[in-house]
A and B are shown apart, each in its own frame.
Chain A
């Protein structure tokens, strides 16, 4: 279990150092996202320019990644984000994370910049920095297939041309659809002349108590499939969320000018284009769509961002844009948000044909969206400006900021219009990497049929009304901790307690899995405390990079423009109530009134070794 190594790879000096990860560290932060932030704080010099050799890029598998633990396919990629200037951290499924461990490694810390296009080849405890000349200028599918042709079966995490061109929302891709998608980590690869990390391993992960792990896997299978939602998630995947949100008018539509959209994007319509549902490594849920247009997906995010948000109704077109963005290696959340933003800016006359290079921008234009995605990935013409993501405010003028749906410079991921659902609103405002639902998604807020007692047991508050901010800090607090814990364990949030369901795996299961794998005793409290530690370490990182209380906020539109449609009509986030909720959140976190960690806590965290 604990026989996998930590590698520190200096691309500038062409040196590789292989070390052990101390057990004491694993016991405090598990792995994945938790250990990544520890090492990022340790290795990254404050104020480093994200696209310079000074940035530090970390690939880290979770403590349980690659084991029989259901849905344990995940790993995290972390660096300083070129899109936001703050924490860049993205969690990814597929098969690369497990293969990284089978190849002998838990974690790679990548420093410097290679003199020429390179890739890392990891095989059974050894690492080589190899020439990536033949793979450069290739998009994400072609490079992975070429690597398999040349090296035999292997798993790779790669960047596309978008990464090479330093598009600020280029993702790290593995497989057809899996991505460490957010925060522009593909551009960090590009900036380091690193085209791919290739793993090819034959080494197993030793398990302390094999029988216990087998029994737990069987038990979890029974438990997961005793829920009605599991077969649905395996049949429809995340697009099933679209209808639920659309029904209440909480779907970001046309850059959040509207809040509801067409039924033509409901999961049943998407399903018509699905050839087969497939899995990531170790996953029993199989929520990935192999679509009939030659790709995989779409997730709910793609349905929202390439559907409602840019004004497209045709599911076939949405799926084709999803496939294109995946192949180009662009983050779909940022792509769809940035496109919708500039469409509105154009409609409002804030930008014109002079800026767009003669292009007429409008919502609901499939060919235009396709063209722009390609232009972004190559930084061609107007695409060069869009490739700057939220930093394009500098190009389009300060007034453009008012229409930008982003927090901490990160375009919002979740298609949810959070003006109606206030725990979600607080969640994207406090999320450590910027506007993102995968840091806290307090899902149970919108489960109107769930008895308040159940919500109270989980969140510590009853939550009967999604539209108010009262007590919502507790839902965010709970969710941020458990998500940080699963991200550190390497387990998918899809089977995590509170993400899709009030059931599924909670700390009581995690402690049993950890014990089976390592023999270590953790209490539920210890695990929650691990989550809290991760959040605090991420806050230290962000504070060091200049984040202040002012950055824990929402897009202007969410405060000032009431929603126009359906039962959400009239709802917005009140600034005074929001400030008060944020203050309660800080208090709950035992942060200062300015949202910073107290000196004592910093000292405590700095003593972790």
Chain B
């Protein structure tokens, strides 16, 4: 199963990911109205993209009084028709990955397997990868570091 992974050290803070997301979902360019958010501050010197991780035991799903959240083929989806806009999901998400704006709950649905954010990232700071690839990469990096390769 493929998911989105973020690499903050590669993120340059441009927000093309958020703009692509808002454009796809709402037909407008608005980095604040997106399921992927880039937190950045040039004075504090950081860039940090935040994205829904599609937890398998997700708090948003667990605590939603309306059962608006449901997993489908590994993607944690949200049913607009069941939602009562109580915003509880956004407050319980440990990663603050759900956005609320203009009375909308904005939650990543992986663009049904074709995430647009990845396509406009120029540094591979967001990747759409198999879970195993991510781990393999990390293990390789770790092994090389330990062995001084």
C-alpha spacing A279/B32, complex, angstroms: 18
8 A Cβ contacts from B11-48 to A: 12-16, 19-20, 22-24, 26-33, 41-43, 45, 47
Does B122 count as interface, using CB distance less than 8 angstroms? Answer: yes
B43 touches A176 (CB 8 A): yes
Bound-state CA distance A188–B126 (Å) is 42
Asked if residues A282 and B16 are in contact (CB atoms below 8 Å), the reply is yes
Quick check: B16 and A217 within 8 Å, CB to CB?
A: yes
Specify which of A203, A210, A221 is in contact with B27 (CB 8 Å cutoff): A210
For B12, the chain A residues whose CB sits under 8 A away are 276-279, 283, 286
Q: For chain B residues 112-144, which have a beta carbon within 8 Å of chain A?
A: 116, 119-120, 122-123
CB-based nearest A residue for B17: A68
B146 at the interface (CB under 8 A from A): no
Residues of the B chain whose Cβ atoms lie less than 8 Å from the Cβ of A226: none
Whether the pair A221, B120 counts as a contact (CB closer than 8 A) is yes
**Which residue of chain A has the shortest Cβ distance to B123 in the bound complex?**
A286
CB <8 Å contact, B120 and A176: no
Q: A208–B101 Cα gap in the complex (Å)?
A: 21
Looking at the assembled complex, report how far the CB atom of A372 sits from the nearest CB atom of chain B, in whole angstroms. Answer: 26
Specify which chain A residues have a CB less than 8 angstroms from the CB of B13 in the assembled complex: 278-279
A204: interface (CB < 8 Å)? yes
Task: Please determine whether A202 and B33 come into contact, CB atoms closer than 8 angstroms.
Answer: yes
Q: Which residue of A lies closest to B45 (CB)?
A: A290
- Using C-beta atoms within 8 Å of the partner chain, give the interface range for chain B: 20 to 34
Cβ–Cβ contact B27 & A207, under 8 A: yes
Q: Is the Cβ of B14 less than 8 Å from the Cβ of A202?
A: no
Of the candidates B14, B32, B42, which one forms a contact with A284 in the assembled complex, judged by CB atoms under 8 Å apart? Answer: B14
**Contact of A204 with B30 in the complex, beta carbons under 8 Å:** yes
- The answer to whether A282 touches B15 (Cβ under 8 A) is yes
With known contacts A102-B30, A207-B29, A296-B42, A281–B23 Cβ distance under 8 A:
no
B44-58 interface (Cβ within 8 A of A): 45, 47
CA distance A206 to B19 in the complex (A): 11
Contacts of B29 in A (CB 8 A): 66-68, 204-205, 207
- A70 contacts the other chain (CB 8 A): yes
* B96 CB to nearest A CB, Å: 14
Contact A203 B15 (CB under 8 A): no
CA distance A175 to B101 in the complex (A): 26
Could you say which residues of chain B place their CB within 8 Å of the CB of A176? 42-43
Q: Which residue of A lies closest to B15 (CB)?
A: A281
Contacts across chains A and B counted by CB atoms under 8 Å: 99
Q: Which residues of B contact A391 (CB under 8 A)?
A: none
Bound complex: CA of A206 vs CA of B29, how far in Å?
Answer: 6
Q: How far is the CA of A289 from the CA of B30 in the complex (A)?
A: 26
Compute how far the CA of A367 lies from the CA of B144 in the bound complex, rounded to whole angstroms: 45
Which residue among B16, B29, B45, B101 has the maximum number of chain A CB atoms within 10 Å of its CB?
Answer: B29
Contact in complex: A280, B14 (CB < 8 Å)? yes
Q: Hey, which chain A residues are within 8 Å of B26, CB to CB?
A: 204
The answer to the question of A526 belonging to the interface, with a C-beta cut-off of 8 Å to chain B, is no
A590 part of interface (Cβ distance < 8 Å): no
Q: Which listed residue (B15, B20, B42) contacts A214, Cβ 8 A?
A: B20
Closest to B10 in A: A276
Complex Cα distance, B41 from A237, in Å, reads: 21
Interface string of A100-112 (1 = CB under 8 A from B): 0010000000000
- Tell which of A67, A234, A279, A285 touches B19, judged by Cβ atoms closer than 8 Å: A67
> What residues on A are CB-neighbors of B27 within 8 Å?
206-207, 210
Query: Is the CB–CB distance between B43 and A70 below 8 Å?
Result: no
**How close is B19's CB to chain A, nearest CB, in angstroms?**
4
With A204-B28, A204-B29, A286-B123 known as contacts, the answer to whether A70 contacts B16 (CB < 8 A) is: yes
Contact in complex: B15, A204 (CB < 8 Å): no
Tell whether, in the assembled complex, residue A202 and residue B24 are in contact, meaning their CB atoms are under 8 Å apart.
Answer: no
Contact call A68/B47, Cβ cutoff below 8 A? no
Contact of B30 among A141, A203, A284 (CB under 8 A): A203
Complex alpha-carbon distance, A283 and B26, angstroms: 21
A205 touches B43 (CB 8 A): no
Cβ distance B140 to chain A, nearest Cβ, rounded Å: 23
- Contact of A518 with B by CB under 8 A: no
Q: Please indicate the chain A residues that have their CB under 8 angstroms from the CB of B32 in the complex.
A: 102, 202
B24 → A minimal CB distance (Å): 7
Q: Considering the chains assembled together, what is the distance between the CA atoms of A214 and B29 in angstroms?
A: 11
Which residues of chain B from 71 to 87 have any CB-CB distance to chain A below 8 Å in the complex? none
A218 within 8 Å of B by Cβ?
yes
Q: In the complex, what distance in Å separates the CA atom of A202 from the CA atom of B29? A: 11
Asked if A141 and B122 make an inter-chain contact with CB atoms under 8 angstroms apart, the answer reads: no
In the complex, chain A residues 338-388 whose Cβ is within 8 Å of any chain B Cβ: none
Q: Which residue of A lies closest to B30 (CB)?
A: A204
Tell me the minimal C-beta distance from A150 to chain B in angstroms: 14
**CB<8 Å pairs between A and B, sample of 29:** A68-B16, A68-B20, A98-B31, A102-B30, A175-B42, A202-B30, A202-B32, A202-B33, A204-B30, A205-B28, A205-B30, A207-B23, A207-B29, A210-B24, A214-B20, A214-B119, A214-B120, A217-B20, A221-B119, A221-B120, A225-B122, A276-B9, A277-B12, A282-B15, A282-B19, A283-B14, A284-B120, A286-B12, A286-B122
**Chain A: residues with CB nearer than 8 A to chain B?**
66-68, 70, 98, 102, 141, 144-145, 148, 175-176, 202-207, 210, 213-214, 217-218, 221, 224-225, 234, 275-286, 290, 296
Given contacts A176-B42, A210-B23, A282-B16, 9 further A-B contacts (CB under 8 A): A98-B31, A205-B28, A214-B23, A214-B116, A217-B119, A221-B120, A234-B122, A279-B14, A281-B14
Nearest first, the 10 closest Cβ-Cβ pairs linking A and B are A204-B30, A204-B28, A279-B14, A284-B122, A279-B12, A286-B12, A68-B19, A67-B29, A205-B29, A210-B27
